[in-house]
Amino acid sequence: MSAIRVAVIGANGRMGSHLCELAHASPALTLAARVVAAGEAGGVQLAELDPQSVDVCVDFSHRAAVSEVAEWIARHGKPWVLGTTGLSAFDEQALAGAAAQAPVFLASNFSIGVALLADLCARAAKVLGVDADVEIVETHHHGKRDAPSGTALSLGHAVAAARGQDLSNVRRDGRVGQVGERPVGEIGFHAVRLADIVGEHEVHFAWGCERLTLRHDARDRKVFAQGALRAASWLVGQKPGRYGMSDLLK
């Protein structure tokens, strides 16, 4: 079986570098192209990428590039693994257009462990219901720009969906001052920023005289690159549509 040809978009970034390194080292994959932004050296720009030389694109570039990449994906029908977070409504619309023409895999966190954590949280939430208080605490390095993390929000969505809630109606970001009694069914989020921590997520359930804490720690950023390449291998051959980590676990 031929090796899967991978184009890494955002190849000069931190995650892009890990992806290129792992793809190059894998016997099942071939690093077909390093795609870089205009003015950057060490690769090709997206407009120069030959679609015939690529089986799947893995993209950890920047939110500003999402619409451009989505247009390229839709035009050529190539599978697209996207790890960019903080997408706008316009980005989501571009993503939907691409997913109509090609398989698109979107995740805020490509760790298999985090995917399992989300599954376990949903199971716990379904059993415990809205009577259990839920607090989600995420810790990342001090350079992270968004809060709460996309992964924390994904965990919150998993809990809310399992309890029949809309997260936007029950979400609370931190607490300060006289906030009053905690409402039933609320899901709290707390962001911690410390030094060079890669990523830690804790989901706390408390009810009656009991408490359950589910936790995942990422010790090396390569775990996300490994998961993204696993997703890329799986995505090749799938039908157009939108996919995520839960599909990978089936």
| Catalytic residue list | 140, 144
Query: CB-based burial of residue 222 (10 Å sphere; 0-12 exposed, 13-18 middle, 19+ buried)?
Result: middle
Chain-centroid distance of CA 52 in Å reads 27
Token pair 């690529």 is found at 54
Helix (H, G, I), strand (E, B) or coil at 12: coil
Helix (H, G, I), strand (E, B) or coil at 231: helix
- Using CA atoms, how far residue 205 sits from 121, 132, 136, 230, in Å, is 9, 6, 9, 31
Spatial contact of 233 and 30, defined as CB atoms under 8 Å apart: no
